[in-house]
Structure 1
Amino acid sequence: MADHVDETTQTRYPWRATVRTIIAFVGGLALAAPLLYTAVTNQSPEAATGAGATALLVAGAITRLMANPFVNEWLTRLGLGAEPKQTN
């Protein structure tokens, strides 16, 4: 039996995965910024929970969107795709 190790793109290109995660995280925070500001200034636990949930939901949606083949192809042109550009 052959030893077959199937490496993921996250393992082969860790910096690409890191940058894509940062993009999703920053996008989630940016869209939740008004809720976060309200939570911080009013010291409201309910608003803070809502802001955290919103940021997580948006980051998850952005991550899912980046997994779409069309979006991944576009990100590849920018150098952020799951795989590097194919050179012919």
Structure 2
Amino acid sequence: MADHVAGTTQTKYPWRATLRTVIAFIGGAAVAAPLLYTAVTNQSPEAATGAGLTALTVAGAITRLMANPFVNEWLTKLGLGAEPKQTN
């Protein structure tokens, strides 16, 4: 297991980390929305479980994608990168 390093981007910029997590959650929930709707309207625990797993999987994939250096560079241009924009 990795050692905890104080001063990482998670602790330096907590609101950026929070916003990136919210974006991943919204993406996962959006993909799972039809399953969630079916689960709620039909009262199906199996569909609800599938919807939850789908949302979690998609959110995890989005989070992993945002950790890619190329994507993080793009997110930095939008002001959502792990580190703030470098001003010259």
Partner of 2:18: 18
> What are the ranges of 5 or more consecutive residues in structure 2 without an aligned counterpart?
none
TM-score w.r.t. structure 1 length?
A: 0.93
Identity %: 87
Give the aligned residue type for 1:34.
P
> What are the ranges of 5 or more consecutive residues in structure 1 without an aligned counterpart?
none
Please identify runs of 4+ aligned residues in structure 1 that moved more than 6 A: none
RMSD: 0.9
CA distance in 1, matches of 2:34, 2:52: 12
Tell me, what secondary structure is at the counterpart of 1:87? coil
Give a deviation string over 1:13-50, Cα, whole Å, max 9, x none: 00100100000000000000000000000000000000
Return the index of the structure with the highest Cα Rg: 1
